[in-house]
C-alpha cells in the first residue's frame, strides 16, 4: 500500500448511525446512574491497583466492548491476566482469567455495599490481590463503599441505553481522533466522572494543576494535566448539571477561549465549569447527530488550539 492509499483511507469519512439515538433523560435514570457510577469506580480502582502507571492515568480507564464496558486484560499473579466486563446485555459483571476461570455477578438493584462485598469475594476466589481505595473519587461524598446502603438502584433498560449512547458516541470520537497526528489519548471512559473522553496534546508542558478536585490528591491532578491538553467528552449528567451533555475544555485555559465561536448553535460556554457544553438532547434530535458532535469537537478544538497558539500545521493530519 503506497502513501497516497494510506492517506485516502485515513481521511475517508465514517458513516455515522443517525438513528435512533436513545433518549437519556437524567431524571429517569439518576439513581441508577449514581449507583452504576460507584460500581464502575470499584472496578476501575482494580485497574489502578493492577496496572503500571501510564501518562495521564490512561491505565485506569474502561473501554467500550461489544457487550458493555471492559477493563481489558490486566496482569495479576505471576503470569496471569484477568478481564472484568460490565455486560449490559445479560446484565452481569463478568470475570475472566487466562487460566480459563469465569465468574459472574448479577447487575440488579442492590446496594453499593452489597456489590462491593461480593466483588471482593470474587477477587479473593480468583486469587486477585488488588488493593482498592474503598471510597469514591471525584465525588462530593466520602461514604465508603462497604458502608454505602444509600445507592442501590439498577434499571437495566436505562443502563443499557447509556451504553448504547456510548457506542454511537465512541464511533464519532474515534473518527475525530484520527484527524490528529500529535499525541492523543485513546477514546476511553474515566470512572471518576463516568465520562467517555478523548484528548489532544500540543506537546508542550503545562503549569502545575492547582488541584482542588473532590477526594483526589493534588499530585494526581498534576500527573493528569502535566502537558497542555484539549479534551472533549460525553457524560450522563450530575446534580450540578442534570442532563447528559458533550463537553470541551483546554488546560491551561488561555485568554479568549470562552469567547470563541463554536458550533453547532446550541453549544455554549459554561462560566462556572470553564468549558463548552452541548446538550445531548439537542444532538439526539438533530438531522445528523454524528455530524453535530463532530462539528462541536472540531470547532472547540480550533478554539483551544487557536487561542493557545498550538502548532496546528505540525499536529493535524492533512496540514503538513
**168: which 3 cell numbers?**
454511537
- Report percent pLDDT > 70 for the chain: 93
290-293 contacts: CB < 8 A, separation 24 or more?
290/14, 290/16, 290/17, 290/18, 290/168, 290/171, 290/172, 291/16, 292/264, 293/169, 293/172, 293/246
Coil, helix or strand at residue 168: helix
Maximum C-alpha span of the chain: 60
Q: What is the DSSP letter of 180?
A: B
The whole-angstrom separation of Cα 298 and Cα 288 is 15
pLDDT value at residue 14: 55
**117: which 3 cell numbers?**
462485598
pLDDT value at residue 252: 98
pLDDT value at residue 240: 87
Query: What are the pLDDT digits (tens) for 223-271?
Result: 999 999 999 999 999 988 999 999 999 999 999 999 999 999 999 999 9
Query: What are the pLDDT digits (tens) for 133-168?
Result: 999 999 999 999 999 999 999 999 999 999 999 999
pLDDT value at residue 219: 96
pLDDT value at residue 20: 85
pLDDT value at residue 16: 63
The whole-angstrom separation of Cα 186 and Cα 174 is 8
| pTM listed for this prediction | 0.93
The whole-angstrom separation of Cα 22 and Cα 37 is 19
pLDDT value at residue 61: 98
β-strands 227-235, 68-70 pairing:
unpaired
Distances, alpha carbon 251 to alpha carbons 97, 205, 276, in Å: 39, 10, 13
The strand ranges marked E within the chain are 63-64, 68-70, 74-76, 80-87, 92-97, 102-106, 188-190, 195-205, 227-235, 245-251, 268-270, 275-279
The whole-angstrom separation of Cα 174 and Cα 264 is 19
Regions of the chain where pLDDT drops below 70: 1-19, 319-320
pLDDT value at residue 7: 45
Please name every residue paired with 105 in a beta bridge, in sequence order, or none if there are none: 93
C-alpha dihedral (258, 307, 206, 203), degrees to nearest 10: 130
pLDDT value at residue 12: 46
Going from N- to C-terminal start, the domains of the chain cover 26-147, 156-315
pLDDT value at residue 3: 47
Amino acid at each position: 500500500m503506497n502513501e497516497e492509499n494510506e492517506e485516502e483511507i485515513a481521511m475517508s469519512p465514517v458513516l455515522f448511525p443517525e438513528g435512533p439515538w436513545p433518549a437519556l433523560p437524567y431524571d429517569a435514570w439518576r439513581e441508577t446512574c449514581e449507583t452504576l457510577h460507584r460500581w464502575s469506580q470499584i472496578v476501575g480502582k482494580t485497574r489502578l491497583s493492577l496496572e503500571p502507571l501510564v501518562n495521564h492515568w490512561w491505565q485506569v480507564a474502561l473501554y467500550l466492548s461489544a457487550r458493555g464496558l471492559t477493563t481489558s486484560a490486566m496482569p495479576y499473579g505471576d503470569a496471569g491476566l484477568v478481564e472484568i466486563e460490565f455486560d449490559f446485555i445479560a446484565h452481569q459483571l463478568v470475570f475472566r482469567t487466562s487460566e480459563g476461570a469465569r465468574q459472574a455477578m448479577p447487575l440488579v438493584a442492590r446496594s453499593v455495599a452489597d456489590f462491593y462485598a461480593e466483588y471482593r469475594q470474587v477477587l479473593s476466589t480468583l486469587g486477585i490481590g488488588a488493593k482498592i481505595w474503598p471510597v469514591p473519587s471525584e465525588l462530593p461524598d466520602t461514604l465508603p463503599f462497604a458502608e454505602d446502603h444509600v445507592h442501590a438502584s439498577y434499571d437495566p433498560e436505562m443502563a443499557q441505553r447509556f451504553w448504547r449512547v456510548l457506542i454511537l458516541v465512541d464511533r464519532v470520537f474515534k473518527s475525530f481522533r484520527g484527524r490528529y497526528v500529535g499525541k492523543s489519548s485513546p477514546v476511553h471512559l474515566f470512572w471518576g466522572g463516568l465520562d467517555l473522553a478523548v484528548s489532544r496534546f500540543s506537546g508542550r508542558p503545562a503549569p502545575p494543576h492547582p488541584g482542588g478536585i473532590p477526594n483526589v490528591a493534588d499530585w494526581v491532578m498534576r500527573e493528569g494535566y502535566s502537558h497542555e491538553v484539549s479534551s472533549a467528552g460525553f457524560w450522563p449528567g450530575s446534580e450540578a448539571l442534570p442532563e447528559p451533555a458533550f463537553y470541551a475544555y483546554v488546560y491551561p485555559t488561555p485568554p479568549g477561549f470562552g469567547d470563541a465561536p463554536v458550533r453547532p448553535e446550541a453549544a455554549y460556554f459554561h462560566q462556572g465549569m470553564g468549558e463548552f457544553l452541548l446538550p445531548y438532547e439537542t444532538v439526539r434530535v438533530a438531522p445528523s447527530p454524528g455530524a453535530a458532535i463532530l462539528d462541536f469537537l472540531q470547532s472547540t478544538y480550533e478554539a483551544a488550539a487557536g487561542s493557545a497558539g498550538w502548532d496546528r500545521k505540525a499536529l493535524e493530519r492533512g496540514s503538513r
